[in-house]
């Protein structure tokens, strides 16, 4: 089996699972309990919080653990929109390349009459149209939510620089960054001191457990909680903490910080794949040559339906991701690709191959072989 779907979930190594288990074995308590086992669990949670914060150049108290980045994105947008009602600032800006957790939340908030969700287009290179975004930032705009590194194209939006420009136009604006796919892939140590007010993260994209995420929220910025209850996470995210997940997140945060080259093999594999695919005129690569995180390839093959390619990958034991949703057997075009100006057929038949720490150039060669065979079969 070749796993080439790291952007969906980067697998946990056995060593990592063992490390998590070892730490957990010594702390079965509830981190809110005052007895020794509770205190031990709390210590683990706080160590992890510090590790995540260090990756962002942030303070530990600016990190709030959540169940996933989907929750973090929902939390921030719902909380901000409820505040917007109290003032005339009603526009929420998002890009056309946002993850569904931002896109669908923004749409729902608009439907509930809580704000006006304005979608900013993308340039053909996959980046948000910064000029168009900034043109929309006025006193009626209460927040911007922008994806940092794109989960499909890998394209990086200059989130921190855009936040600076946006705040020149409206200093009260809240700038949120969906940094799920940049964490561990880019140096984010400047984020804590940047103009970005909040950001979402998820452990399973960097080899941690699934079901644990966090929200970075700058100190002093006020946010209402999404969940009420026991007052965990400094009263902002009630619910007993997922200690196993948090321990895992902390370990992986420490790991990616201490091993900044941990994805070098993934980048080499990705480069190899793109070299091979660029030789095939039927292949439409939806990734620019520069300005990406460098571990993902998003493409369509002219004349080859996606289902045929997926079947070939399945048969060869290679796990890749379909680049668009499939409604009743008919692939619907990928929204990011449509926004980049890719024609509808190619946008509906896209595939994503994403590499991780375990990937090799041989994996890339196998992926390329499958595509090549499909192209040869066309003749």
Q: CB-hemisphere CA count at 13 Å for 220?
A: 8
For ligand PLP, the closer of residues 130 and 181 by Cβ is 181
For ligand PLP, the closer of residues 181 and 324 by Cβ is 181
Residues 6+ apart with CB under 8 A from 277: 283, 285, 297, 299, 368, 371
Pick the catalytic residue from 12, 68, 141, 326: 326
For ligand PLP, the closer of residues 67 and 130 by Cβ is 67
Smallest distance, ligand PLP to C-beta of residue 153, A:
11
Smallest distance, ligand PLP to C-beta of residue 165, A:
22
For ligand PLP, the closer of residues 7 and 27 by Cβ is 7
Token representation of residue 183: 């964490």
Smallest distance, ligand PLP to C-beta of residue 204, A:
6
For ligand PLP, the closer of residues 74 and 232 by Cβ is 74
Is 12 one of the catalytic residues?
no
Smallest distance, ligand PLP to C-beta of residue 76, A:
12
Measured in degrees and rounded to the nearest 5, phi and psi for residue 149 equal -100, 130
User: Using an 8 Å Cβ cutoff, are 44 and 272 in contact?
Assistant: no
Token representation of residue 269: 């594999």
Which of these, 121, 120, 111, lies nearest to 81 by C-alpha position?
Answer: 111
**Total Cβ atoms within 10 A of residue 99:** 22
Smallest distance, ligand PLP to C-beta of residue 159, A:
12
DSSP secondary structure of 148-204? SB-TTT-BBP-HHHHHHHHHHH-TT-EEEEE-TTTBTTB--TTGGGSS--EEEEEGG
Smallest distance, ligand PLP to C-beta of residue 210, A:
7
**By the criterion CB under 6 A, which residues form the site for ligand PLP?**
68-70, 99, 101, 147, 151, 178, 180-181, 202, 213
Element (H, E) at 142: strand 141-147
Token representation of residue 160: 């921190």
DSSP secondary structure of 1-56? -EE-BTTT-PPPPHHHHHHHHHHHHT--S-TT--SHHHHHHHHHHHHHHHHHHHHH
For ligand PLP, the closer of residues 192 and 208 by Cβ is 208
Give the residue numbers marked as catalytic. Answer: 326
């Amino acid at each position: 089996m070749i796993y080439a779907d790291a952007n969906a979930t980067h697998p946990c190594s056995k060593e990592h699972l063992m490390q998590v288990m070892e730490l957990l074995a010594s702390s079965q308590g509830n981190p809110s309990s005052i007895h020794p086992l509770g205190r031990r669990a709390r210590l683990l949670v706080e160590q992890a919080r510090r590790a995540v914060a260090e990756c962002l150049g942030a303070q530990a108290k600016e990190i709030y653990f959540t169940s996933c980045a989907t929750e973090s994105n929902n939390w921030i947008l719902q909380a901000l929109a409820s505040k917007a009602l109290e003032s005339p600032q009603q526009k929420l800006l998002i890009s056309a390349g946002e993850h569904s957790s931002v896109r669908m939340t923004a749409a729902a908030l608009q439907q509930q009459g809580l704000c006006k969700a304005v979608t900013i287009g993308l340039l053909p290179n996959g980046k948000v149209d910064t000029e168009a975004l900034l043109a929309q930032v006025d006193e009626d705009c209460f927040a911007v939510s922008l994806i940092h590194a794109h989960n499909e194209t890998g394209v990086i939006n200059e989130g921190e620089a855009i936040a600076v420009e946006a705040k020149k136009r409206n200093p009260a604006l809240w700038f949120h960054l969906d940094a799920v796919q940049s964490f561990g892939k880019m140096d984010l140590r400047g984020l804590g001191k940047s103009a970005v007010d909040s950001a979402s993260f998820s452990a399973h994209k960097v080899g941690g457990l699934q079901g644990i995420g966090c929200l970075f929220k700058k100190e002093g910025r006020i946010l209402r909680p999404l969940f009420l209850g026991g007052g965990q996470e400094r009263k902002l995210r009630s619910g007993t903490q997922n200690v196993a997940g948090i321990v895992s997140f902390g370990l992986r945060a420490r790991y990616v910080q201490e091993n900044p080259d941990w994805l070098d093999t993934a980048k080499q594999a990705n480069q190899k794949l793109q070299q091979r695919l660029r030789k095939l005129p039927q292949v439409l690569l939806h990734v620019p040559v520069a300005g990406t995180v460098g571990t993902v390839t998003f493409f369509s093959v002219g004349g080859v339906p996606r289902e045929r390619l997926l079947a070939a990958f399945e048969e060869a034991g290679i796990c890749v991701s379909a680049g668009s949703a499939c409604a009743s057997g008919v692939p619907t075009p990928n929204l990011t690709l449509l926004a980049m100006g890719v024609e509808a057929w190619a946008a509906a038949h896209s595939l994503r191959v994403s590499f991780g720490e375990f990937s090799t150039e041989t994996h890339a060669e196998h992926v390329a072989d499958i595509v090549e065979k499909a192209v040869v079969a066309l003749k």
